[in-house]
Amino acid sequence: MDKSLLLKQRLLEIWDDGKPFEACRGKFSGTLIVLASGPSAADFPLERYRHVPMVAVNGSIVRFAEAGVRPLFYLCDDRGFVRLRLPLVRQGIELAEHAALGTGALEVLLESAPEAIEGHSVCVMRRTNRPLDGAVLSDRRYAWSVRKDPDLECRFSLLRQKPNRIGFSRNMTKGYFGGRTIPYAAMQLAYHLGFRNVVLVGLDMGGQGRFYEQGDAALPSRLDEDYVDYILPSFELVAERVVCEDYRMFTLSNDSRLPASLVPRLSLDQLDDLLASS
């Protein structure tokens, strides 16, 4: 059996080992904090909120390790990040209660450090329309096929291809939409788990870089390239079709590039009030 088939078989085994996304659907409530990697994340008093369920994404696990706080989930769906920041990915898997890695990221991990997942709860985070075993539809055909699925929200356009890639999944067993930024996957995970409020920390998107990187050692970012075509439209979809009394999104970043009309700002005092009420 060639290497690619072995990797595919291993991914299927991990997916089938308990189906963790299915098992935890709707098991939580209240508020989930998602710590992204923007500069404002460095100022968030993580220790003060250690009692609140949290998600770490990519390199933001550094803050959790420094504070001795264990996140509920660690997410990573970037092949390049696993390849270039393997120690951070390993740290995320070891520290979090559960880790969810995109198929590409998990493939790289299995090639370079397969022992990293042993003894840990690791989920395969599968993109919508990217089955582990089966055919992939065109973006347009897929968007049309799920138009009546209550678990999936998706734009549809006959004239333009990009809108068909914009969506939101309420059920991670059916996959997730990338949105070109990993905190967007965390928002879908929050809905899947049953949280009513998702609070985004460090989702600045202003091009200032990541709080844990400096100088020439920093990895390149595609935020500026993807913001107009994918990131902003994804959050517009959430505000239009997903946000309701039972699911709300907020940010603690006053300087976030995302408009406050889409993602309302919270102060720490308001976050405290939100936590007390939920």
**Domain positions in the chain:** 3-129+169-219+243-277
Distance separating alpha carbons of residues 109 and 52, to the nearest angstrom? 29
Q: pLDDT digits over 203-224, tens only?
A: 998 767 798 887 666 677 887 8
C-alpha of 213 from chain center: 20
User: What pLDDT sits at residue 278?
Assistant: 83
Distance separating alpha carbons of residues 123 and 133, to the nearest angstrom? 16
The alpha carbon torsion through 122, 125, 126, 127 (nearest 10 deg) reads: -170
Give the phi and the psi of residue 154 in degrees, each rounded to 5.
-150, 135
Whether residue 18 is predicted with pLDDT greater than 60 in this model: the reply is: no
Distance separating alpha carbons of residues 144 and 176, to the nearest angstrom? 16
Whether residue 83 is predicted with pLDDT greater than 80 in this model: the reply is: yes
Per-residue burial over 164-193, b = 16 or more CB atoms within 10 Å of its CB, e = otherwise: bbbbbbbbbebbbbbbbbbbbbbbbbbbbb
User: What pLDDT sits at residue 220?
Assistant: 75
User: What pLDDT sits at residue 5?
Assistant: 80
Distance separating alpha carbons of residues 215 and 153, to the nearest angstrom? 39
- Cα diameter, the chain: 57
User: What pLDDT sits at residue 206?
Assistant: 79
Distance separating alpha carbons of residues 164 and 157, to the nearest angstrom? 6
Distance separating alpha carbons of residues 169 and 30, to the nearest angstrom? 19
Q: Which candidate, 253, 275, 278, 273, places its Cα nearest to that of 264?
A: 253
User: What pLDDT sits at residue 20?
Assistant: 67
